[in-house]
Structure 1
Amino acid sequence: MRAEDQFHLGIVARDFEATLAEFSTAFGYEWCAEIGGPVPVTLPAGDAVLDMRCVYSRTSPRLEIVRRIPGTLWEPAGGTGIHHAGYWSDDVVADSAELVRHGFAREASRTGPGGTPFAFLRGTTGFLVELVDRSAQPGLEKYWGEGGTNA
């Protein structure tokens, strides 16, 4: 993995609509349509289905605003801070294993649209990383460009 593989910053919002409005008003962000729904995930405690919903900015640098899910790792970081950094990965399993060797702990994993894997790992300083299989890149780029729902 390389620094240039970082492609978004994720913010879990306590107030989703207010967060979107604030970034739009203050910084001119424009948003794609909201995506998500029930998503099977594997957590340290076992498998679960969570209602995961988010919206990506059409504006760069790319932001992902995520609806909070109480009682999970998808809670606002530090009250209102950055929740995670998303990185493209050519091999999510191998990159996850490499991060574990560097002291990161696996927090969650899932299989996305088309079977693409995602993983969330937390570093020893509390920093959360999302690894997204690079095969998802064309679909996300299309979604960002059109502002639609086909990710």
Structure 2
Amino acid sequence: MTGFYHVCFAVPDIQAAMRDLRLASGVEWSPPKSDRIAGWDFQIAFTTGGPPFIELIEAPAGSPWDSAAGARFDHLGFWSTSVLAGSRRLDAAGLPEDFSGCPYGRPFVYHQVDSIGARVELVDTDRQPAFLSTWHPGGAPMPAIEEPHEE
């Protein structure tokens, strides 16, 4: 499917996860960044070298990336030309919304996909330039899922 650009793991210790994946596969990492959304502080890191990326998120219990029970596969990330239209499409397909960053000024949404035991994330293509400048400087724009335009 077009638009795929990362796989994410929620981890209790981002430094250990970065070290172990580096040892296991040779991937390199951008330095982790700290952020906050909806009252939750978290750390995030992406592999270098271009898509598809591996993303790691370390966040507190109760957050959308809670890993208190241990590290886990969290989601597949896709660029979307319309997060709202994509979210409606996924809801209509029986894949319910799990968390949205939209109310917090972040154009992304997670939908639960029970058949894979994880979520899919739609991220608005308007965020792509900021993503590229932070995590993949000089990287080329990536394709997106084309959603119908809103009226």
Normalising by the smaller structure, the TM-score range is 0.7 to 0.9
Residue 63 of structure 1 pairs with residue 54 of structure 2: yes
In the other structure, the counterpart of 1:108 is 99
Task: Indicate which of 100, 108, 130 corresponds to 1:118.
Answer: 108
Q: Could you tell me the percent identity over the aligned residues?
A: 27
Moved more, 49-58 or 73-82: 73-82
Q: How big is each residue's C-alpha offset from its partner over 1:13-53, in whole Å with a ceiling of 9 and x where there is no partner?
A: 1222110001112211111122232213xxxxxxxx21132
Task: Indicate which of 15, 23, 26 corresponds to 1:25.
Answer: 23
| Counterpart AA for 1:120 | Y
In the other structure, the counterpart of 1:53 is 43
TM-score, length of structure 1 as denominator length: 0.78
Contact 1:112–1:118 (CA<8 Å) still a contact in 2?
no
Equivalent-residue separation in structure 1 for 2:114 and 2:16 (angstroms)? 31
| Counterpart AA for 2:109 | A
Contact 2:61–2:68 (CA<8 Å) still a contact in 1?
no
Residue 131 of structure 1 pairs with residue 122 of structure 2: yes
Equivalent-residue separation in structure 2 for 1:64 and 1:95 (angstroms)? 22
Equivalent-residue separation in structure 2 for 1:109 and 1:31 (angstroms)? 26
Equivalent-residue separation in structure 2 for 1:77 and 1:133 (angstroms)? 29
Residue 10 of structure 1 pairs with residue 8 of structure 2: yes
TM-score, length of structure 2 as denominator length: 0.78
Please list every run of 5 or more consecutive structure 2 residues that lacks an aligned counterpart in the other structure.
Answer: 138-151
Residue 83 of structure 1 pairs with residue 81 of structure 2: no
Q: Provide the aligned C-alpha RMSD in A.
A: 2.5
Equivalent-residue separation in structure 1 for 2:68 and 2:2 (angstroms)? 24
User: What's the secondary structure of 1:83's corresponding residue?
Assistant: strand
Contact 1:8–1:64 (CA<8 Å) still a contact in 2?
yes
